[in-house]
Amino acid sequence: MILGSLFQLMALVGVFYTLAALVVAGRRTAMAANLRAEAASVTLLKPLYGSEPRLSANLQTFLDQDYPASIEMICGVQRSDDPAAETVRALRSLDPRVTLCIDGRRHGSNGKVANLINMTPHIGNDLVVLSDSDMAVEPDYLVRIAAALAAPGVGAATCLYAGRGDAGFWSRLAAAGISYQFLPSVMMGLALGLARPCMGSTIAMRRETLDRIGGFAPFADVLADDHAIGEAVRALGLAVVVPPMIVIHGCTETSLGAVARHELRWNATVRGLDPIGFAGSIVTYPIPLALLGLLSPTPIAAFILIAACAARVALMLRIDRLTGRNSAPSWVLPLRDIFSLILFAGSFFIRSVDWRGERLRMEQDGRVSAKSEFD
């Protein structure tokens, strides 16, 4: 009875949290960007690894920009036979603004950062925008980024993102987690002044700022490299801002195991950065908490479960309206929330993570060691 009542209380808190997120998401709909900014030439950095279902189309969205200054895209791989390299070669044959950098040097345990370090000498413009390979953007993306960076005291810009399933059901399950759990949580954190985001969806800064933080080398052994880059910019006394737009993350998972490995790594990373905040995020899963509340089967428990389902569906519809897309059907939502709570609990027992097929051990200081270093 006591345990059931505790879960009911947590679920009820989760319902109120979800309703608050619903309000915050509604307010964000009305936000508009100040698009007046002096345009600087842009270098887009794309660290790549392996094949992805919509890699070429995703990259193309960063080139198809309504932007008044010049754009160059540098795509980096570590092996000439990487499938991503062939995609880039095809894209380069159609657009001379694309450069392929093949460099196998490793500078630490984080392969993505090693890629970025190898690409840095090829940067030719004043504005540097790096983003993950699975991102897609609208034609006004760079204009909004430039406008954000033009504000006084701003050192970097990052972007909120929603999920899009590119590889069947499991990828849509992953997309639902991004759109209906992660995105509202970040919005709430921003609204309450608690979040300090800097995400792989976009990290944009001036070349001068990149040089001042030491380039990418200081993050060669950091798992949460995007977060660490943001903190380095803030340490200079500069702000990291979030422009009023939402970009798209293309999810490519093809199995439940792939989703679990990816999200366990994600959860373990967040837990390492903010253990108290991560523990408190349990209230963002009101549906499974309400189901556990049925351990004390009372009319109140049933009411809380109904309220939790209604609140979560309402938030889902609000996010769909905000992003202009549906990441997953509504019947997936309870399954997604139950799965998320299981992964939330599992992340407390994670000591190593899978990153693109490589096992990395998590160290106490937030750094990682490659498997070969601790076998």
Q: 323 Cβ partners below 8 Å, 6+ apart?
A: 162, 179, 246, 248
Does the pLDDT at position 357 exceed 70? Answer: no
Q: What is the dihedral of CA 331, 337, 342, 347, to 10 degrees?
A: 140
The pLDDT score that the predictor gives to residue 2 is 85
Rg (CA), the chain: 21
Distance from chain centroid for Cα 281: 17
Position 267 in a domain: no
- pLDDT value for 374: 36
pLDDT at residue 375 above 50? no
Asked if residue 226 has pLDDT above 50, the reply is yes
One domain for residues 150 and 201? yes
- Asked if the structure places residue 20 within a domain, the reply is yes
For the whole model, what pTM was predicted? 0.89
Residue 30 is predicted with a pLDDT of: 44
In this predicted structure, what is the pLDDT of residue 360? Answer: 58
Identify whether residues 301 and 185 lie together within a single domain: no
Tokens of 292: 């556990």
Per-residue pLDDT of 173-204, as tens digits, reads 999 999 999 999 999 999 998 889 999 999 99
Q: What is the CATH number of the domain that holds 211?
A: 3.90.550.10
Sign of dihedral through CA atoms 196, 226, 354, 176? positive
Count of domains for the chain: 2
Q: Are 40 and 91 in a shared domain?
A: yes
Same-domain check for residues 109 and 93: yes
Are residues 334 and 240 both part of a single domain? no
pLDDT-derived band of residue 35, with 50, 70 and 90 as boundaries?
low
Q: Are residues 193 and 179 in the same domain?
A: yes
Structure tokens at 122: 């090829």
Query: Between the CA of residue 227 and those of 130, 158, 218, 284, 361, what are the distances in Å?
Result: 13, 10, 13, 22, 18
Per-residue model confidence as pLDDT tens digits over 111-125:
899 999 999 999 999
So what's the pLDDT on residue 173?
A: 96
Q: Quick one: residue 50, left, alpha or beta (phi over 0 = left, psi -120 to 50 = alpha)?
A: left
Q: What is the pLDDT confidence band of residue 109, given thresholds at 50, 70 and 90?
A: confident
Same domain, 347 and 212: no
Sheet of 358-362, strand order: 352-355, 358-362, 368-370
Of 5-19, 37-51, 76-90, 203-217, the one with minimum mean pLDDT is 37-51
**Is there a single domain that holds both residue 138 and residue 69?**
yes
In this model, does residue 351 exceed pLDDT 80? Answer: no
Residue 302 domain flag: yes
Mean of the per-residue pLDDT values of the chain: 90
| High-pLDDT (> 90) share of the chain, % | 74
Look at residue 110 in the predicted model and tell me its pLDDT: 87
Whether residues 247 and 324 share a domain: the answer is no
Per the structure, the complete domain to which residue 337 belongs is given by 2-28+282-366
The per-residue pLDDT for range 267-312, each reduced to its tens digit, is: 888 887 888 888 889 999 999 999 999 998 999 999 999 999 999 9
Average confidence (pLDDT) over 92-104? 94
Q: How far apart are CA 210 and CA 120, in angstroms?
A: 10
**Is residue 154 domain-resident?**
yes
User: Does 170 share its domain with 301?
Assistant: no
